[in-house]
Amino acid sequence: MRSGRFIFSCTLALASLSGIAGASGATPAKVSGATALALAGVIAPLSPDLSGAEKKAVAMLFAGGSNVPYKKAIVVTADRIVCRTGNVDITVRNCEVTFGKKTRTVNGSTANEIFATEALAGIPPDGAAGSNFESLTRLSCTIDPNAIRRKDGSGADCTFQPGN
């Protein structure tokens, strides 16, 4: 149990340092900088709306490369993201990511990455009978490779609605 508290404490500490603003309650939220890049980085590979070049550019930026050949701003969107982990059946890890009428379900490490990144972005968890849930709607992240290349903390911004 100590390691769980430590991870939670670290997540809270990182959240306070990573550009989170207003991500609690039912009000729209905005994150920027490293947190926004992380949120776009875990959702972009699942998006049916992004081109291969856009997905590759977001992946390169998320992996630490700022000199990507893609020059235009990239908008990563998702209509709804619902993630669930189990606290009784600890093997349960899944997320449903909805893009328009298409829903992608991911499990395991990919779901864990999304769940943890939502927590970093300030998405409040909700518990129910052996499960932890995090959800958001109307995610829209703008990633500007040209701004990120300047290495001044700019170039990544996301807005979303916490909860269903």
At residue 5 the predicted structure's pLDDT band, cuts being 50, 70 and 90, is very low
Over residues 17-36, mean pLDDT: 69
Count CA within 13 A, CB hemisphere, residue 30: 4
Q: Is 10 a residue whose pLDDT tops 70?
A: no
At residue 26 the predicted structure's pLDDT band, cuts being 50, 70 and 90, is low
Q: Any idea of the CA torsion for 59, 43, 141, 50, to the nearest 10 degrees?
A: 70
Q: Are strands 29-32 and 74-86 parallel, antiparallel or unpaired?
A: unpaired
At residue 164 the predicted structure's pLDDT band, cuts being 50, 70 and 90, is confident
At residue 80 the predicted structure's pLDDT band, cuts being 50, 70 and 90, is very high
Rounded to the nearest integer, the mean pLDDT of the chain is 86
Domain locations along the chain: 2-162
3-state DSSP call for residue 20? Answer: strand
The encoded tokens of residue 66 equal 């700022």
Q: How far apart, in whole angstroms, are the C-alpha atoms of residue 67 and residue 161?
A: 31
Over residues 23-30, mean pLDDT: 70
Q: How far apart, in whole angstroms, are the C-alpha atoms of residue 155 and residue 147?
A: 5
Highest mean pLDDT among 2-16, 24-38, 105-119: 105-119
Query: ∠66-68-74 over CA atoms, to 5°?
Result: 95
Q: Is 24 a residue whose pLDDT tops 60?
A: no
pTM: 0.82
